[in-house]
């Protein structure tokens, strides 16, 4: 089946079996191997990409479901140089093996937009107050991205620096 | 994954008609269906993508809300009206899955998500729900994420949705469009079926029946709470959850609706508990009786025995807080 979508600003057309997931389309058919396959079942977040501004698990979506969509992968996060978020991950040692990192980056990038739009989270005390990016909020909002190297302190510090926020509650 | 035909439905009529083909299925967010198709637990012959039918709207109808079937769980949880007037729904949604999954998961798909019983997922084992008549590996096997209420000798699978628990406490109704083009509205309570000796039949929907929206009446209580207990702090299914919608008047419980997750083969509600509590002054002894009533017909297995005590404690904690 024919499929056209935009990946990192470039229009792409593919001819795919309907069984191909968005993740496999990106990795195997477009050679964009930044997005990683950890579990292939929505349980780890390594495959996180941004579709129409929202983060999703590319492993639990069929490529065919994305006709006409605008997709951003980790390869599309940087412009001339690294993005503020990517730079912050380096400064704060936000990774060890790096396998979860593309997913962490895409997830964090879109998560910061959710916060800017005032979306609440499970740990938000007042559903109707503006969202604050505390350590607890960060842990909850990024819980869809696991890191087997447990680099969470570095990842959290990097995201907070990129958000230009100082954690309201330490620890 | 087995081969299938994929089509993007242009309108609801085409979608319903196409879904009448043998083994055809609607696909919305795909977060449950694709998971199960990868494991070949499900092998639909055709997928009808309902993501572009314009069913992703949310509209006010007087004091009520009509929630489109393909609106994402994330958008629904963040909706300002829901946050203000139906906070128990926002809370239940935000307690489920992850940020990424909620951006994909839809209202209709969430209601119709399949159980997380590990044997249902493992095609090498016997399972009456996956393969009718083969037996139930969970009974006498390993249990944890299983039901203790509404179970049968043939299946003890849990309904795993958090959202559906809040919707039951809120007396939500489901709008369904049939392949013939007719519409009907059913109480969420009537959407689901107890497993009995046909655990593979989970709802009253017929082939081609499309959920178009969920109808949410004005909440009858302004004190609302969703409490979820799970194995880790986030990104895990409920061991026990309680949704409470309560109105107090002159120190007494004027109205109360309670629904439970993690306990039932369907999103659980028990009118006897509500009758016991209505009109009463909140007090510990009363809450003890409510907890005993909830568990009076519980049929736990070795692996789920802990849910009796846990369920009672969570209910008492919620009642204490929400009536304070
Ligand atoms: C790792 C993980 C963790 C999760 N944790 C939680 C959790 O903590 N709490 C929780 O509640 N859920 C959880 N979920 C489940 C998640 O909420 C569901 O997968 C999701 O809600 C399903 O919605 P969907 O739109 O993706 O459905 P789909 O996968 O598209 O569809 C599911 C089923 O519904 C049918 N269907 C969909 N829409 C319609 C319609 N409009 N009319 C008729 N039939 C329809 C499909 O044919 C299919 O049978 C988790 C899932 C994963 C993968
Ligand atoms: S509990 Fe139900 S879903 Fe699980 S193995 Fe038994 S029959 Fe299958
Ligand atoms: S690979 Fe998609 S969530 Fe793990
Ligand atoms: S850096 Fe190794 S998994 Fe996260």
ipTM comes to 0.96
Same-domain status, A89 and A57: no
Q: Which chain A residue's Cα is nearest to B29?
A: A61
Q: Is residue A57 domain-shared with residue A93, that is, in the same domain?
A: no
Task: Answer yes or no: do A53 and A121 share one domain.
Answer: no
Q: What pLDDT is stored for residue A14 in this prediction?
A: 98
Residue B264 Cα to ligand 2 midpoint, Å, equals 13
Q: Are residue A35 and residue A56 in the same domain, yes or no?
A: yes
**Cα separation, B123 vs B121, whole angstroms:** 6
Q: Tell me how many domains chain A contains.
A: 2
Residue A14 falls within a domain, yes or no?
Answer: yes
Same domain, A52 and A88: no
Final residue in a domain of this structure, among A32, A58, A76:
A76
Residues A153 and A109 both lie in one domain: yes
A97 and A67 assigned to the same domain: no
How close does chain A come to B297, measured CA to CA in Å? 32
Closest CB to B99: pick one of A1, A111, A124: A111
Q: What is the mean pLDDT of residues B164-171?
A: 98
So what's the pLDDT on residue B69? 98
Please give the distance, rounded to the nearest whole angstrom, from the Cα atom of residue A76 to the centre of ligand 1.
29
Mean pLDDT of B238-263: 98
Would residue A171 count as lying in a domain?
A: no
Q: Is residue A170 part of a domain?
A: no
- Specify if A114 maps to a domain: yes
Q: Evaluate whether residue A168 is within a structural domain.
A: no
Q: Whose CA is nearest to atom 8 of ligand 2?
A: B127
Residue A21 in any domain: the answer is: yes
Structural domain boundaries, residue A98: 84-163
Same domain? For A53 and A116 the reply is: no
With a 6 Å cutoff on the Cβ, whether B176 touches ligand 1 is no
- Domain assignment present for residue A23? The answer is yes
Closest-CA residue, ligand 1 atom 53, reads: A42
- Shortest alpha-carbon distance between residue B299 and chain A (Å): 31
Given this model, what pLDDT does residue B200 score?
A: 98
Identify the domain boundary among A53, A76, A99.
Answer: A76
Write out residues in chain A with pLDDT < 50, as ranges: 166-171
Q: What percent of chain B has pLDDT over 90?
A: 100
Considering the domain architecture, whether residues A101 and A152 belong to the same structural domain is answered as: yes
Q: pLDDT band at B17, cuts 50/70/90?
A: very high
- The per-residue pLDDT for A165 is 55
> Does residue A107 sit in the same domain as residue A47?
no
| pLDDT above 80 (res B296) | yes
pLDDT (0 to 100) of residue A171? 41
Atom of ligand 2 at shortest range from CA of B154: 7
Assign A117 to helix, strand or coil: coil
Nearest CA in chain B to A45: B100
CATH number at residue A69: 3.10.20.30
A158 and A110 belong to one structural domain:
yes
List of domains in chain B: 5-49 (3.30.43), 223-323 (3.30.390.50)
User: Which residue of chain A is at minimal alpha-carbon distance from B74?
Assistant: A119
User: Is any ligand 1 atom within 6 A of the Cβ of residue B18?
Assistant: no
Q: What CATH number has the domain bearing residue A111?
A: 1.10.150.120
Partner A contacted by B118 (CB < 8 A): no
Query: Does the residue A106 lie in any domain?
Result: yes
- Ligand 2 atom closest to the Cα of residue B125 is 5
- Final residue in a domain of this structure, among A55, A76, A97: A76
Asked if A72 and A88 sit in the same domain, the reply is no
Q: How close, in Å, is residue B289 to chain A by CA atoms?
A: 30
Pocket test for ligand 2, best of B140, B156, B159, B201 (most atoms within 8 A of CB): B156
With 0.90 as the threshold, say if the pTM is over it: yes
């Amino acid at each position: 089946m024919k499929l056209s979508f935009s990946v990192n600003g470039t229009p792409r057309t593919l001819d795919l079996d309907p069984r191909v997931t968005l993740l496999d389309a990106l990795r195997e058919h477009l050679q964009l191997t930044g997005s990683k396959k950890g579990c292939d079942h929505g349980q780890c977040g390594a495959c996180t990409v941004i579709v129409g501004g929202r983060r999703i698990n590319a492993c639990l979506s069929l490529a065919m479901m994305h006709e006409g969509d605008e997709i951003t992968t980790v390869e599309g996060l940087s412009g001339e140089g690294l993005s503020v978020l990517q730079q912050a991950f380096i400064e704060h040692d936000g990774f060890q093996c790096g396998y979860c990192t593309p997913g962490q980056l895409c997830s964090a990038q879109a998560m910061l937009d959710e916060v800017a739009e005032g979306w609440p989270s499970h740990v938000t005390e007042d559903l109707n107050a503006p969202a604050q990016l505390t350590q607890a909020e960060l842990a909850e909002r990024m819980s869809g991205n696991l890191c087997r190297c447990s680099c969470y302190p570095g990842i959290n510090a990097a995201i907070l620096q990129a958000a230009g926020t100082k954690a309201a509650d330490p620890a | 994954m087995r081969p299938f035909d994929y089509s993007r439905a242009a309108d609801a009529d085409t979608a319903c008609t196409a879904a009448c083909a043998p083994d055809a299925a609607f696909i919305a967010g795909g977060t449950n269906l694709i998971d199960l198709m990868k494991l070949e637990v499900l092998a639909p012959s055709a997928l009808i993508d309902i993501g572009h039918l314009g069913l992703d709207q949310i509209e006010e109808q007087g004091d009520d809300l009509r929630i489109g079937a393909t609106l994402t769980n994330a958008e629904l949880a963040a909706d300002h009206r829901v946050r203000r007037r139906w906070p128990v729904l926002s809370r239940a949604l935000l307690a489920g899955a992850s940020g990424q999954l909620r951006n994909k998961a839809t209202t209709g798909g969430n209601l119709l998500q399949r159980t997380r019983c590990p044997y249902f997922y493992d095609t090498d084992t016997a399972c009456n729900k996956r393969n009718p008549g083969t037996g139930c590996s969970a009974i006498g096997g390993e249990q944890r994420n299983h039901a203790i209420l509404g179970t049968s000798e043939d299946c003890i699978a849990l309904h795993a949705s958090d959202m559906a628990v809040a919707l039951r406490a809120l007396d939500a109704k489901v709008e369904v469009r049939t392949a013939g083009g007719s519409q009907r509205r059913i109480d969420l309570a009537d959407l689901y079926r107890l497993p009995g000796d046909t655990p593979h039949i989970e709802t009253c929907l017929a082939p081609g029946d499309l959920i178009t929206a969920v109808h949410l009446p004005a909440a009858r209580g302004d004190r609302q709470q969703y409490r979820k207990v799970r194995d880790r702090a986030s990104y895990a299914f409920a061991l026990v959850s309680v949704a409470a919608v309560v109105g107090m008047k002159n120190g007494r419980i004027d109205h109360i609706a309670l629904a439970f997750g993690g306990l039932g083969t369907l999103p659980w509600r028990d009118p006897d508990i509500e009758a016991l509590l209505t009109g009463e002054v909140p007090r510990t002894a009363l809450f003890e009786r409510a907890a005993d009533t909830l568990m009076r017909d519980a049929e736990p297995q070795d692996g789920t025995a802990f849910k009796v005590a846990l369920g009672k404690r969570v209910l008492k904690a919620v009642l204490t807080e929400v009536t304070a």
